[in-house]
Amino acid sequence: MSEERIEIADLGEFGLIRHLTKNIEIHNASTVLGVGDDAAVIDHFGKQTVVTTDMLIEGVHFDLMYTPLKHLGYKAVVVNLSDIYAMNATPTQITVSLGLSNRISVQALDELYEGIYAACDKYGVDLVGGDTCSSQKGFIISVTAIGEVTPGKFVKRSTAQKGDLICCSGDLGAAYVGLLFLEREKRIFQEHPGVQPDLENESYVIGRLLKPEARKDIIEFLEQSEIIPTSMIDVSDGLSSEILHISQQSGLGVRLYEDKIPISEDMKRAAFKFEIDPTACALSGGEDYELLFTLQQSEYDKLVLNEQISVIGYMTEPEEGAKIITKGGHTHDITAQGWNAFKGRQ
């Protein structure tokens, strides 16, 4: 018994919104008024409000051919939460705006919302508003995340100090290699529709692309350890691009060590299948959603035992520029080769 496809037009805009929001659970006392009015009302009770927004567009940021809608919903939320954590803040609310073509059924939207709500549950944030409209072509999802931070405790990109250690959470580059696998399988499928995808053993790198997580745990660890980073950013465009933001905005140089950059064994093995350099994936790949931060050298002892944090270099005088020391001992300039949304991978 297959369920009959329900068209969005059958429910109408308001019916659709009611359908999608009927099971909302509120996690935060700060959510004074949620979905269903002209605007939501939030009370952060003396804390400062942190706000960020990200838009994902079909064909640019995701391909529905290999992106399950549930994962897309989850990821659209997580990439925004990652920006809130990168301010050393705690996300509390989101709004979600959707542009939908009539290709999308209500059942498909339900899957998308399953992913959105799964992320809300996992990170303890509330969906408080949004907008749902039709799109002539393609699927668009625009999320705004709101968070809170104790006044003055937020961490910017521009406040790294000379001599600070550069730290990175988790491992880098895997999401990019995951993308390479999915693009390859798409091409094979298009040429030979009968061939089954060969993605066994690649679940780690593919999972990193399709269902990333934001590093809530790292922010909690820093708080528990009484570490306030001197600067912080999340890794959405690749390590090179992100460390250059910190370097340029702080007016300092950077020295990274290739052999310190955290790379997983799964990613390394996968990268070799494409005959590409794992370090290049970490530097330029993007979409890892790890946290990159700097801190005073005196804090080193507090994090040395945390296996989820790697020290990968330090901040230098501005005249020394942004450099990476390779495993072979050579020194190279760090250049931004990350994702450029207007030119594609460069």
For its own copies, the binding residue among 130, 170, 178, 285 (CB under 8 A) is 130
Is 235 a residue that touches its own copies (CB under 8 A)?
A: no
Beta carbon of residue 35, minimum distance to its own copies (angstroms, whole number): 11
Taking the least distance from each CB to its own copies, the nearer of 54 and 110 is 54
Is residue 236 a contact partner of residue 289, using CB atoms and an 8 Å limit?
Answer: yes
Q: CA-CA distances (angstroms) from residue 277 to 168, 176, 265, 273, 345?
A: 19, 12, 13, 10, 16
Alpha carbon distance 65, 138 (integer Å): 12
d(CA 6, CA 111): 13
Q: What is the C-alpha end-to-end distance of the chain, expressed in Å?
A: 48
Residue list, annotated binding site for Mg(2+) = 38, 52-54, 83, 131, 234, 237
Single residue of 42, 214, 252, 312 touching its own copies by CB under 8 A: 42
Q: Is there binding between residue 169 and its own copies (CB under 8 A)?
A: no
Query: Contacts with its own copies in 2-31 (CB under 8 A)?
Result: 8-9, 12-13, 16
Within its chain, how far is the Cα of 278 from the centroid? 20
Binding to its own copies, residues 60-119 (CB under 8 A): 60-61, 83-84, 86-87, 89, 93, 95, 97-99, 102
Tell me the C-alpha distance between 36 and 53, whole Å: 21
Question: Segment 45-64, which members bind its own copies (CB under 8 A)?
Answer: 46, 48-55, 57-61
Of the pair 60, 304, the CB lying nearest its own copies is at: 60
Residues 132-151 as x/- pattern, contact with its own copies by CB under 8 A: xxxxxxx-x-x-xxxx-x-x
**Beta-strand pair 331-333/322-325:** antiparallel
Q: How many CA atoms lie within 13 A of 124 on its CB side?
A: 9
Contact between 158 and its own copies by CB under 8 A: the answer reads yes
**DSSP character for 245?**
H
Q: How far is the CB of 229 from its own copies (least distance, A)?
A: 12
